[in-house]
């Protein structure tokens, strides 16, 4: 296996509450009291009416899972409203399969998955963690373990144009390799948004959103890095990375209709120098890519874009 087993044998207990890695990071950051107030969010989740209504209107989401070799990836899910549907209070139906150009094409079921659904227009997002019960040609079924909203921080407001009933089928491969090409570096350096996938051996996979001013993700020799900005104090991603460095990044050029997926390892650096510490948290993440996949999505476009008004200024 590339970086872990994609399938779990036997029944899997629900992963709820904070795990030890999250608690340790919360203590190190000095936010354990604030995090404890939000602990109920991490209890057994259900797709209640408000969340179900939000999901039914969603046209973009990001999914974190493992491919058939066990490598972790974060992949885009695109489609018209109805792409995501609450089949029941504990079952999410994804009305599309991953296309052949995506590394999660024909991903195995019987594995934990993380998903973030996001509405860029209203700057709303919902995170769902669960277990992939079924993966077929018609779509994916997820048994929901956690479902909770996140604040609108650092979400750039954009309006997407999707020019196809099934846009995922229109994705075409551009590149597959082990190092970033110059055009990949340019995409990363121009990005104001990306999606981060992390994993935990007992609590499964997680997908989260990262945003900031264009240029907040830096490229340095053989790795990328970005400063940590203040968030909800849950430290789900950092908690996972403290236990398992496996990580997957997804960048999308919404205007040109291209995607960049990176699979590799990441580490949180504490007490970093002031240069690049845009929000003055003293934390940053360094990511080393091991596999690089770029695709084109000709049916995807962007018709409006407004930066999040409280992005911290770049501090280089």
Residue 197 predicted with pLDDT over 90: yes
Query: The domain containing residue 135 runs over which residues?
Result: 20-306
CA-CA-CA-CA dihedral for 170, 86, 207, 294, to nearest 10: 0
Which is nearest to 22 in space by CA: 42, 40, 44? 42
Beta bridge partners of 126: 117, 149
Asked if residue 313 is part of any domain, the answer here is no
Q: Please tell me the pTM assigned to this model.
A: 0.94
Please give the residue that has the higher pLDDT: either 36 or 285.
285
Residue 10 predicted with pLDDT over 60: no
Asked if residue 281 is part of any domain, the answer here is yes
Beta bridge partners of 162: 300
Q: In sequence order, what DSSP letters do the residues of 74-91 get, joined into one string?
A: EEEEE-STTSEEEEETTE
Tally of domains in the chain: 1
Residue 199 predicted with pLDDT over 70: yes
**217-260: pLDDT as tens digits:** 999 988 999 999 998 888 999 999 999 999 999 999 999 999 99
Mean pLDDT calculated for residue range 292-315: 95
Cα 294 from chain centroid? 16
What average pLDDT does the structure give for the chain? 92
Pair 233, 42: CB distance under 8 Å: no
Cα 132 from chain centroid? 16
**39-55: pLDDT as tens digits:** 777 667 899 999 999 99
Cα 235 from chain centroid? 14
Half-sphere exposure of 248 (CA within 13 A, CB side): 31
Intra-chain end-to-end CA distance of the chain, in Å:
39
* CATH number of the domain that residue 112 is part of: 2.30.110.10
């Amino acid at each position: 296996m590339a970086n872990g087993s994609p399938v779990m044998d036997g029944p899997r207990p629900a992963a709820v509450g904070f795990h030890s890695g999250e608690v340790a990071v919360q203590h190190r950051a000095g936010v354990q009291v604030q995090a404890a107030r939000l602990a109920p969010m991490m209890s057994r989740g259900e797709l209640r009416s408000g969340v179900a209504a939000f999901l039914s209107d969603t046209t973009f989401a990001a999914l974190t899972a493992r491919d058939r070799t066990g490598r972790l990836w974060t992949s885009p899910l695109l489609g018209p409203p109805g792409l995501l549907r609450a089949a029941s209070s504990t079952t999410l139906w994804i009305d599309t399969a991953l296309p052949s150009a995506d590394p999660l094409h024909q991903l195995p079921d019987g594995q934990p998955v993380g998903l973030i659904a996001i509405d860029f227009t209203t700057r709303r997002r919902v995170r769902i963690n669960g277990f992939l019960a079924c993966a077929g040609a018609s779509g994916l079924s997820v048994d929901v373990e956690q479902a909770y909203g996140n604040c609108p921080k650092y979400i750039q407001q954009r309006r997407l144009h999707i020019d196809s009933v099934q846009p995922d089928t229109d994705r075409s491969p551009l590149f597959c390799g082990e190092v970033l090409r110059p055009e990949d570096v340019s995409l990363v350096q121009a990005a104001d948004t990306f999606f981060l996938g992390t994993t935990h051996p007992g609590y499964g996979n997680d997908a989260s959103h990262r945003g900031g001013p264009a240029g907040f993700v830096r490229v340095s020799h053989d790795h990328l890095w970005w400063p940590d900005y203040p968030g909800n104090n849950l430290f789900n991603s950092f908690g996972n990375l403290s236990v398992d460095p496996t990580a997957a990044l997804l960048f999308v050029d919404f205007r040109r209709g291209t995607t960049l997926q990176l699979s590799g390892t990441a580490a949180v650096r504490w007490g970093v120098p002031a240069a690049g510490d845009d929000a003055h948290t003293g934390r940053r993440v360094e990511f080393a890519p091991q596999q690089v996949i770029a695709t084109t999505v000709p049916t995807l476009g962007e018709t409006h874009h407004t930066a999040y008004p409280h992005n911290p200024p770049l501090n280089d």
